[in-house]
Amino acid sequence: MLGFTPFKRHPNKFNYIPRYYDPEKEAREQRRAELRGERAEDADREYQPGQYIRTQREARDARRSNEEERGRIRVLKMAAGAVLVLLFIYLLYPKLADVFLRARTAPATETQQVGEEEFNPYAPIRVVPNDYEE
């Protein structure tokens, strides 16, 4: 206990050498400093009251206007898509439906024989007697 004293003359020192250098982290910190209004050239200048608030407000306004513009473009794209779908339904769908109906009914009329009648489910049933005897 002779060497222990709660009052130290100097703090403990650690010999810490960072292993990795992260240039992305440094670039990120530099961008954040620029957004806060700090620049390398401004390091020696004094702080002006409100400069951080002003810089943040300008960045926020720019981001919001950019988001609003993207929203307007998205709405215009959706409206153009809806107009194209409506034009397709109005102009092309009846023609396509007609082509498919003609294609479906045309082979049936060619394969019918002359002596056969068309099938009518509501026509009376014709009873044919048996020709064979037991």
Here the tokens at position 26 are: 């440094």
CA–CA–CA angle 10, 13, 18 (5° rounding): 155
On whether the CB atoms of residues 52 and 32 are closer than 8 A, the answer is no
Res. 108: pLDDT tops 50: no
Residue appearing with tokens 């292993």: 19
Residue appearing with tokens 């473009």: 73
Closest CA to 47 of 57, 56, 37: 37
Dump pLDDT digits (tens) for 58-105.
889 999 999 999 999 999 999 999 999 999 889 988 888 888 888 887
In the chain, % of residues over pLDDT 70:
81
First to last CA, the chain: 128
Res. 2: pLDDT tops 80: no
